[in-house]
Amino acid sequence: ITGKGNFTGTREIPVKVVDKKDLKKFTVTVGKEKLTYNGEQQIPTITVADKSSKAPLTEGMDYIIVYGGNTVNAGTVKFTVVGLGIYSGTVAKSYKIKPLVVKDSSLMAVDGVNADGYVFNSKGVTIGEDLTVTYKTTGDVLTEGKDYKITYSNNKKVGTAKYTVSFLGNYKGSKAVKGGTFKINPTGLFDAKVVLADQIYSGKPNVYKSKPIVDIDGVTLKASNYTVEYYKDAAMTDLISSKNKVS
């Protein structure tokens, strides 16, 4: 076998040629062990035997097992037993690793919420980058998107938002951690994009107030989100008001 493209090097592998009349078949039996995710590789008992004599075969000499996926995570693991020597053919089988269901939510530690709060974001404030979810029994730190997801409520306005940690993947079926809260603080207008149209002098009093367009992170703010003051002078000392109109 000689690599090409992204691969280099050569491997030489001897192939034994067996007369067709000497070939034998084999059977594969998968044990009925109940496997539950534990963070380690898990493989049930796999028995490969001569189809006629029922005698057990030797792995590596009579057959090899090729696994088609991860043997650690919860889910269905597919594998293929390939005959060697006088044993021909392949047999495809599978087995399951069940998720670890944690029924006591107090065994899941959720840490990392910033006590000072988070800056308001009109698209919704999320705290996934700060949170650390740990299964206390083993000390394993879980991964967002793989082992759990976070859902939010009231996270699109200043005040107190809530979040819930729900489990999936290797921990699917575990009791969710509810009732978490975090604070959302007002954001400043320092980075806002403000567009204000110039006005043409018309000689009419008090008609020179342009309505600003205020944009933060691609979201246009409503007029109720800010107040505007107008001045007659560039130094902004002469405030326009109902008693001090533009003449």
Residue type, 242: S
pLDDT for residue 112: 96
Residue 163: count of CB within 10 angstroms of its CB: 23
Cα–Cα distance, 118 to 190 (Å, whole number): 16
Could you report the per-residue pLDDT of 20-46, keeping only the tens digit for each? 776 899 999 999 999 999 999 999 999
Length of the chain: 247
- Which pLDDT does position 205 carry in this prediction? 65
> What does the pLDDT look like over 49-92, one tens digit per residue?
999 999 999 999 999 999 998 999 999 999 999 999 999 899 99
Give the pTM.
Answer: 0.71
Residue 178 has pLDDT above 70, yes or no: yes
